[in-house]
Each structure stands twice: as structure tokens, then as C-alpha cells.
Amino acid sequence: MTILIKNKHTLQIDQFKFRCCIGKRGLTKNKKEGDKKTPRGTFGIENLYYRKDRLEKPLTSLKCIKIEKDMGWCDDIFVPKKYNKIIKIDKKIKHEKLNRKDHKYDLLIPIKYNFKKPISGLGSCIFIHLTKDYKPTAGCVALKKKDFLIMLKLIKKNSKIKIF
């Protein structure tokens, strides 16, 4: 099962097509931290992270992890050991907060870009997450909640995402 990002507005799984949005500056083969571009390529996907205080555990074959108040995702190029990994929030380390006031991260799936042995500065925090208005992202892929929930029923742990 492959999730296809065919253009900046369409995510496709089999015959299902969903409207989506991507990075503000489009797609790139040469991703850099903070460039607001979505990386091109084929990547695995990680677990589903979700806000238990805002919604029920969704139906999916992905492993589901509750987002806690102190969870962050490291995007600090000066902390290579933690770069592009989930962390317990530390004020000394730059990070993306997973427990947000808005609803973007009520559901999120990290895309395994620069993931196994992350290289600092090549990009971090590339997620599939929620959007209300389809405004371009900082490099992620975003969907409406109802489409995200349908996608969760279709994909498997070994699903890939192909961004081209």
C-alpha cells in the first residue's frame, strides 16, 4: 500500500483521492532544515500519534501513541544525537511541540525522511498532519480530519509514501 503525493494538492491511496497541502516552497530533492519544502522520494511511515484528550483512538493498524504534554520532536541542528527524534521537551533543545493549542497535531504520522541515522540540517519533523484550511505547511503533508481518518483505515504499518 503506497500513499502517493502526485502534486501539491492531491494525496492518493488506491482509487481514493484526497485534497492535501504540502510545503510552502513546493517539493525538493535537496531538503534543508527550515526551507519550507517537502522532500521528494519514497519513505516509510512511523506510528500514529494522537491527542487522547481531543479524540478517540482511531481505527488503524498503525501503532497508536498518545501525545503527552511534554512530548516534542527535535529540530535542533546543534543536538545531532536527538535531531529528528521524539524527545521529552527540554527548553535548551529546539523542538516542535506535539501538544499544540491548535488542532494540527491532534493526529500525526511522522514520515521516515532523514530518519534512521538522521543528519543534522537535512530536515526534520516531516509529518502527515491535520489542516483546516489547506494553507501550505513548513514541509509536511496535511489533510482534513475526515480524510485523515479514512486514510488511517486504508494504510498499514509497512505502507510507504511516495512524494514526486
- 38 confidence band (pLDDT: 50, 70, 90): very high
Our CA dihedral for 27, 20, 142, 38, rounded to 10 degrees, sits at 0
Domain that holds residue 125: 2-163
- Report the alpha-carbon distance of residue 149 to residue 119 in Å, rounded: 32
pLDDT at 65 over 90: yes
CATH number of the domain where residue 137 is located: 2.40.440.10
Mean pLDDT, residues 128-150: 98
Which amino acid is residue 35, in one-letter code? D
**pLDDT tens, residue by residue, 106-127:** 999 999 999 999 999 999 999 9
Q: What is the pLDDT of residue 7?
A: 85
pLDDT at 29 over 90: yes
- Report the alpha-carbon distance of residue 146 to residue 131 in Å, rounded: 10
- Report the alpha-carbon distance of residue 37 to residue 87 in Å, rounded: 23
Buried b (16+ CB within 10 A) or exposed e, 36-70: ebbbbeebebbebbbbeeeeeebebebebbebeee
Pairing of strands 48-50, 127-130: unpaired
Q: Which grid cell sits at 128?
A: 502527515
**pLDDT tens, residue by residue, 76-107:** 999 999 999 999 999 999 999 999 999 999 99
Pairing of strands 71-74, 86-88: antiparallel
- Report the alpha-carbon distance of residue 107 to residue 60 in Å, rounded: 12
Mean pLDDT, residues 71-78: 98
- 6 confidence band (pLDDT: 50, 70, 90): confident
- 57 confidence band (pLDDT: 50, 70, 90): very high
How many domains is the chain built from?
1
How far CA 68 is from CA of 16, 92, 97, 105, in Å, comes to 32, 19, 10, 12
Please state, rounded to an integer, the average pLDDT across all residues of the chain.
97
Q: Cell 494522537 sits at which residue?
A: 50
Q: According to DSSP H, which parts of 2-158 are helical?
A: 145-154
% of the chain exceeding 90 in pLDDT: 98
pLDDT at 148 over 90: yes
